[in-house]
A and B are shown apart, each in its own frame.
Chain A
Amino acid sequence: MPEFERFSYDVLVIGAGGAGLRAAIEAAASGVRVGVVCKSLLGKAHTVMAEGGIAAALANVDDRDSWRVHFADTMRGGQYLNNCRMAELHAKEAPECVRELEAWGALFDRTKDGRILQRNFGGHKYPRLAHVGDRTGLEMIRTLQDHGIHTGMEVHMECTVLGLLVDSGRVAGACGYDREKGLFRLWQANAVVLATGGIGRAFKITSNSWEYTGDGLALAYRVGAELQDMEFVQFHPTGMVWPISVRGILVTEGVRGEGGVLRNSEGRRFMFDDIPDLYKEQTADSEEEGWRYTQGDRNARRPPELLTRDHVARCINREVKAGRGTPHGGVFLDIAWIKTHLPKSEEHIKRKLPSMYHQFKQLADLDITKEPMEVGPTTHYMMGGIRVDGDSQMSSVPGLFAAGEVAAGLHGANRLGGNSLSDLVVFGRRAGRFAAEFAKSNKAATVDEQQLQATASAALAPFDRGLSGENPYQIQYDLQDAMQDLVGIVRTESEMLRALESIRQFRARADHVGITGNRQYNNGWHTAMDLDSLLVVSEAVTRAALLRKESRGAQFREDFPSKDAEWGRHNIVVKRSTDGGMQVEKRPLAPIPEELKAVIEEMK
């Protein structure tokens, strides 16, 4: 029987991105024993890649900003499917959480009077994103990491959690293996916080790293937790499209925030041609007004390039399909043009967008201060996730909490840029606090040894099949192709039914996956272990997208191209039914309290 090395904590945090680290710091501060498990090395989680900034109504740059405006912007962006309590708490607590980062050593870019500088971003009415050039995520994760290591938390780096343990309905810990040696570990805990991030690797073209296989969603789903809003996958409008090998790598929205414009192959700024009614009032009439907005003119309205991501992504898709794309199937994103307005524009661009400058120079041999970039949509962010209580972040399974990208609710049908980094610290902090409270007020649950052994045997089975089994990499590629083609930016029933059939076949193949070599740092084995999560989330996305017979936010149905008021009052909830099948249901939204309704009305 496989041996498990055993650890015991009050609170176990799975994931060491912004949400996980913030939760761990908060829990540790309340005096409980905290363990952190992550698939990669400390400081390498996805959060490190975030570029543009963290949204918080600090009102340093425009004093008209407040939590009320931020709240209304977030709800509008999410097309009112958001959990309004979360949107409220987020808008109110984000400024405090940003200041906290500064107190722990983060160095944000400054305003002239020495305060935290804020930049414009799509869907945010005022300049709201605190940032450090275009490497805000690095600043944030390093700050949390360097603060966290001195709080007494124990970190298990390069360990993959394979299963959550439950004891009469309540969470009891987690088990998994360390990637370096391939040995099994058991982390017993009174409370567990899932902070495992998103699912981008279910698609072929993505800005996400290998870690984003939706593990947290699948772990929670398997123990009966409810998932929500799974149909809402954000396709970021600007990913690199050339060379092929870097396809999908993100080009930050900051480029457009600094004045970058989108043009088709005819040189037309096509974004002016299609401005949704919800945003007409707030969008510039002319190119000149748009430029003034990006340069901080408080009386100007934003250029249409800064409309919400779902809309910009679809417009780009449409230009390319209509034959007005670039040679490699994207559109042009031009920041070099600002030289007609700004002296020394080259230095300005390099200072404001240093990583973008390097990324294109090194990976595409292109100087963005001189030439336009080619960009196209890329799978970027998962709005959906584990359904949680807005205040405590607890899921429908007692003792199991979720925060960050893995949780649902804050963003509704579409996330605004910058609202994720703030989500991580606001709700990471809350999850940490409430998990610690839960841990203190509940006795340790019992670990089911049988469940442990079953997890270990299943994990080792692919070694027995060896080369006669299915190639895990190939199954992953095939799944990514299917999801990209059939459940992508533009969806339709017949294609999604085909996707479901493909997923069924991939599952059958995954049951026979085989690997070679031994258990030490075996990437083939790691890939095989991630397959089940990818399949669970792919199926959930597809089933939820099928059920929602309308187009809203990130979901665009060719067969139901408009919004439907009835669907505007419902979320879709996915859970495992007692017979093991996937159950998808329509769930009415909680009513919005009067005072929040008033805020929304006032900001319309």
Chain B
Amino acid sequence: MAGQATFRIWRGDPAGGKFQDYVTPVDEGMVVLDAVHRIQAQQAFDLAVRWNCKAGKCGSCSAEINGMPKLMCMTRLNNLNLDMPVILEPMHTFPVIRDLVTDVSWNFRAKKTIKEFRPRSPDLPDGTWHMQQADVERVQEFRKCIECFLCQDVCHVLREHHKHDEFIGPRLLVHVAALEMHPLDVEDRVSDLRQKHNIGYCNITTCCRKVCPESITITENAIIPLKERVVDQFFDPLKQLFHII
């Protein structure tokens, strides 16, 4: 593949910015993040990019590559059309700090509004519990989340309607699902889901599921079962009666 490629990178800050083209040599096996680093070391020393592990494990390097929300460290150049400039932009749903880096701190604040894990009392005198592999597996899927926030980036409730103050978004719905379906957890987050976290805003477009680099089945396995719990608790006439009593 050796040759060169053009990267059209958005450069700017909260006040505004523009795309700038960088031509750089590329080698076999390179990922987008490698190209960005090469440009940074040789041409644009102050180019802002966030990354850590470079192995798809930490979820730091999220960006939009040719309009697709992706991890830069896991996107190989040989899967992109290099005859055209590769367009790199920061995630749109979060405020820009600089260049490819956005302010994702909202996600951390929103997480704090979710009730924390509360286990049932231990099964055994030494303070431990029995759990079967089959029961933990369901939740382990959600716990694979690397908090890249790419799902938050594509969710129209946040991206287009800017409901950050009302809606926690797919990542945090996955988090609630992990807590609610945890075999040991006894906390109740169902009324919060409806009233505080506004799960009702989600209309199951499945956009979030499609971009998840960890292939978490966000909609089918996490959001829909949570919606069912909300329906069961709030709209089931028998249960409603029960609640009133």
Contacts and interface: CB of A to CB of B under 8 A. Distances in A.
Interface of A: 40-46, 48-49, 99, 102-105, 107-110, 113-117, 132-133, 135, 138-139, 142, 146-147, 149-150, 157, 180, 209-211, 242-246, 249-250, 355, 358-359, 362-364, 471-474, 477, 515-518, 520-525
B202 interface: no
A139 B143 contact: yes
Contacts of A244: 27-29
B147 A43 contact: yes
A44 B140 contact: no
B18 interface: no
Given A105-B119, A147-B117, A522 B46 contact: yes
B30 to A, nearest CB: 5
A236 B206 CA distance: 41
Interface of B: 13, 27-31, 34, 40-41, 45-60, 74, 76, 97-99, 101, 103-105, 108, 111-112, 116-117, 119, 122, 126-133, 136, 139-140, 143-147, 179, 182, 184-185
A210 B30 contact: no
A147 B147 contact: no
A452 to B, nearest CB: 25
B98 A521 contact: yes
A296 to B, nearest CB: 15
Given A147-B116, A210-B51, A520-B48, A364 B29 contact: yes
Given A107-B136, A246-B29, A473-B40, A520 B55 contact: no
Nearest to A358: B56
Given A243-B30, A521-B98, A107 B143 contact: yes
Given A472-B45, A477-B41, 11 more contacts: A43-B58, A48-B58, A107-B143, A114-B130, A142-B145, A180-B103, A209-B51, A209-B53, A243-B29, A246-B31, A363-B74
A239 to B, nearest CB: 11
Chain A to chain B: the 8 pairs with minimum beta-carbon distance, closest first: A243-B29, A517-B46, A114-B130, A524-B45, A105-B117, A473-B41, A521-B48, A521-B98
Contacts, number: 169
A471 B28 CA distance: 26
Contacts of A521: 48, 97-99, 101
A123 to B, nearest CB: 24
A133 B111 CA distance: 25
A210 B76 contact: no
B30 A135 contact: no
B57 A49 contact: yes
Contacts of A473: 40-41, 45
Nearest to A100: B127
Main secondary structure of the interface of B (DSSP, over half): loop
Contact of A42 (B108, B127, B129, B130): B108
B144 A138 contact: yes
Contacts of A243: 27-30
Contact of A157 (B28, B105, B139): B105
Contacts of B97: 180, 520-521
B34 A523 contact: no
Contact of B53 (A49, A150, A362, A523): A49
A102 B48 contact: no
B60 A44 contact: yes
9 contacts: A43-B147, A44-B58, A48-B52, A105-B179, A105-B184, A114-B132, A142-B143, A209-B54, A363-B29
B126 to A, nearest CB: 8
Nearest to A58: B128
Contacts of A40: 50, 52, 58, 60
A149 B129 CA distance: 24
Given A49-B57, A245-B29, A355-B57, A103 B119 contact: yes
A251 to B, nearest CB: 11
Contacts of A515: 45-46
B52 A211 contact: yes
